[in-house]
Amino acid sequence: MARRLEGKRIALTGPRKAQDLSKLVENMGGIPLLRPAQGTVFLDDMNLRNGLVAWVDQRPDWSVFTTGVGLDALFEMAEDMGIAEAYWDLLRETSIAARGYKTVNNLRKRQLEPLVRDDDGSTEGLIRAFAGHDLKGRSVMIQLHGDPAPRLVEWLKQQGAKTQQILPYRHIPPAEEQLDQLLSDLLGGHIDAVTFTSTPQVRFLMEYADKLGKLSELIGVLSGPVVAVAVGKVTAQGLVESGIPRIIAPREERMGSMMVELARYYAGESEPFQAGH
């Protein structure tokens, strides 16, 4: 297994833990290429402060958390504002829903247990878990995860819930030169596989290609010679929705597992991800 990426050129689009992932690719015999498709996460302090004040004042029936890092950002800001204890108290008295195992773990570290959690780390999984609860007339506060969540918000509204959203942080695109290098390498045949660790990376690359009139060419490359690799189901779904038919994704949402799964694919031991499975 250790050398199954022998000679493969692997583009790494995620800025987080890029050096660790590079070393792993090298250890597996591959050639890592750092090609960020996502900029620095931007924390929106004013939005965060206003959202927390509304959260504490309005005391919603349901609190929905979609990422562990977003949950941490909320508590850090609450601490800074001197309302951490009041925020924790209200969460203990409201029903909590959580998406993703990291979010659940971060809640449990604070002695908070979700009543509803997804079954597969996805928004669709969270909706499935919510299905047995009566949400009509209930107020729901949603912590988003760097991007809007129109599917979740629309579903909650269809159930008769009153929703509010708070976006502790948002993803920004990288410098255009970085996207240009990634796109040029992909279209020029200089990359064998490209990894994505979040849906914004997919979105920023696709939007840039579309802006240059090269979207169909990019989709063609990712459907043919270049293998698209996702860290988990949520990112894989983003690729599916962008028109990419073949995606490699591990069962466990881990960066190391992602590279092992790619190696298994090259060895003929792994099948591509199938949307909806």
pLDDT digits (tens, 9 = 90+) for 165-187: 998 877 788 999 999 999 999 99
Residue 104 predicted with pLDDT over 70: yes
Angstrom distance (rounded) from CA 152 to CA 106: 21
pLDDT band (50, 70, 90) for residue 117: very high
Contact indicator for 217, 200 with CB cutoff of 8 Å: no
Q: What is the pTM of this model?
A: 0.72
Q: Where in the chain are all domains bearing CATH 3.40.50.10090?
A: 9-40+173-266, 42-170
Residue 139 predicted with pLDDT over 90: yes
pLDDT band (50, 70, 90) for residue 246: very high
Architecture of domain 9-40+173-266: 3-Layer(aba) Sandwich (3.40)
How large is the angle between the packed helices 123-130 and 150-158, nearest 10 degrees?
A: 10
Task: Share the mean pLDDT of the chain.
Answer: 90
pLDDT digits (tens, 9 = 90+) for 62-100: 999 998 888 998 999 999 999 999 999 999 999 999 998
Contact indicator for 174, 34 with CB cutoff of 8 Å: no
CATH topology of domain 42-170: Rossmann fold (3.40.50)
pLDDT digits (tens, 9 = 90+) for 39-54: 877 777 888 899 999 9
| pLDDT on residue 156 | 96
The β-bridge relationship of strands 42-43 and 169-170 is antiparallel
Convert the chain into a string of H (helix), E (strand) and C (coil). Answer: CCCCCCCCEEEECCCCCHHHHHHHHHHCCCEEEECCCCCCCEECHHHHHHHHHHHHHHCCCEEEECCHHHHHHHHHHHHHHCCHHHHHHHHHHCEEEECCHHHHHHHHHCCCCCCEECCCCCHHHHHHHHCCCCCCCCEEEEECCECCCHHHHHHHHHCCCEEEEECCEECCCCCHHHHHHHHHHHHCCCCCEEEECCHHHHHHHHHHHHHCCCHHHHHHHHHCCCEEEECCHHHHHHHHHCCCCCEECCCCCCHHHHHHHHHHHHCCCCCCECCCC
